[in-house]
């Protein structure tokens, strides 16, 4: 998938996640390869996520994760991901999301408890978006630009660890970056005209 299509996929996932969070529901979207078991019969055929966000939102409300391949096609829903890692101080959905964020996988997690969207890559939370922040939908495109600028390679190169929200860095209203973004804020601010 080319970079523009991947950005469009990320933006779609975050926008759908915001809608789910505002309703007080939870969800997990996994983009990439992961082993899973389906909890429900797969009666909905694969579809291009970007072209059908309403269907994606409906399927995400079921128990289990949505699995999306690297081409942006939804390939499974109601999927159970085996938790191999523990996301301290959070529940099973967070542990499954952390476990699924291996390799090049992108995971977008919607927490029903605190109405926050957490984005994970390479086993680390790299961004958190507060769905209750006023007009946060308008910052999604900028947040995706930051996400792309930071990139998973930077995360691995600096060797970040999972940080608590108080140690994150707020670049946009309702958006907190973790890890490498903390160290790259001046470069990113100039590049993205944020500050």
List pLDDT tens digits, range 17-76: 999 999 999 999 999 999 999 999 999 999 999 999 999 999 999 999 999 999 999 999
Of 96, 98, 63, nearest to 81 by C-alpha is 96
Q: Which two tokens stand for residue 37?
A: 């078991």
Q: Which value, to the nearest 10 degrees, does the dihedral of the CA atoms of residues 73, 76, 78, 80 take?
A: -120
What is d(CA 100, CA 31) in angstroms, rounded to the nearest whole number? 9
Q: Cα 32 from chain centroid?
A: 12
As a whole-number percent, the residues of the chain with pLDDT over 70 amount to 71
Q: What is the pLDDT of residue 156?
A: 37
Q: Where are the alpha helices (DSSP H) in 139-179?
A: 140-158
Of 19, 99, 14, nearest to 61 by C-alpha is 19
Say which CATH architecture domain 3-192 belongs to.
Answer: 3-Layer(aba) Sandwich (3.40)
| Buried-exposed string 125-136: b where 16+ CB fall within 10 A, e elsewhere | bbbbbbbebeeb
Give the domain ranges of the chain. 3-192
Q: What is the pLDDT of residues 115-163, one digit of tens each?
A: 999 998 888 888 888 888 887 777 777 777 666 665 544 433 333 333 3
Q: What is the pLDDT of residue 15?
A: 93
Q: What is the pLDDT of residue 161?
A: 34
List the Cα angle 71/174/2 in 5-degree steps: 20
Residue 178, pLDDT > 50, answer yes
Cβ proximity of 101 and 121 under 8 Å: yes
Q: What is the pLDDT of residue 91?
A: 72
């Amino acid at each position: 998938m080319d970079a523009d299509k991947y950005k469009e996929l990320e933006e779609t996932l975050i926008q759908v996640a915001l809608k789910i969070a505002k309703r007080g529901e939870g969800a997990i979207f996994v983009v990439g390869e992961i082993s899973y078991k389906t909890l429900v019969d797969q009666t909905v055929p694969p579809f291009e996520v970007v072209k059908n966000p309403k269907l994606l939102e409906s399927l995400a409300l079921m128990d289990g994760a949505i699995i999306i391949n690297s081409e942006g096609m939804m390939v499974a829903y109601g999927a159970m991901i085996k938790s191999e890692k523990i996301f301290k101080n959070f529940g099973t959905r967070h542990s499954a999301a952390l476990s699924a964020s291996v390799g090049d996988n992108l995971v977008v997690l919607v927490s029903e408890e605190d109405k926050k969207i957490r984005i994970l890559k390479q086993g680390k939370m790299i961004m958190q978006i507060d769905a209750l922040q006023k007009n946060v939908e308008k910052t999604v495109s900028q947040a995706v630009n930051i996400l792309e600028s930071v990139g998973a390679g930077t995360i691995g190169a600096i060797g970040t660890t999972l940080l608590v929200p108080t140690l994150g860095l707020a670049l946009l209203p309702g958006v907190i970056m973790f890890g490498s973004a903390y160290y790259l804020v001046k470069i990113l601010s100039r590049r993205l005209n944020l500050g």
